[in-house]
């Protein structure tokens, strides 16, 4: 994995990380929604390649989670 993927896979104060066989999911922490939305947008707009990201919105103006699927 690239450095960006390694960094987000470690989690942060605005998200927890759920690992799966194919990738990982960034899940927002309650009370840190604005920070998580910023992180989700950074992941979704990242143009360095190496992964595909699938967001789950909160049906408002933000995100609940982002599934990250690394690609070779």
Residue 26 sits in a domain whose CATH number is 3.90.1070
* CA–CA distance, 72 with 67 (Å, rounded to integer): 16
pLDDT given at position 49: 87
Q: Is 11 left (phi over 0), alpha (psi -120 to 50) or beta?
A: left
pLDDT given at position 15: 95
What tens digit of pLDDT does each residue of 39-63 get?
999 999 999 889 999 999 988 889 9
Which has more confidence, 24 or 2? Answer: 24
Q: Identify the CA nearest to 43 among candidates 14, 68, 72.
A: 68
Number of domains in the chain: 1
Q: Domain of 15?
A: 3-70
Q: What pTM, to 2 d.p., does this model score? A: 0.90
């Amino acid at each position: 994995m690239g450095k960006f993927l390694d960094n987000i896979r470690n989690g942060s104060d605005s998200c927890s990380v759920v690992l799966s066989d194919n990738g990982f999911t960034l899940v927002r922490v309650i009370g840190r929604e604005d920070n998580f939305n910023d992180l989700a947008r950074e992941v979704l707009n990242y143009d360095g390649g190496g992964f595909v990201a699938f967001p789950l919105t909160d049906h408002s103006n933000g995100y609940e989670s982002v599934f990250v699927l690394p690609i070779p």
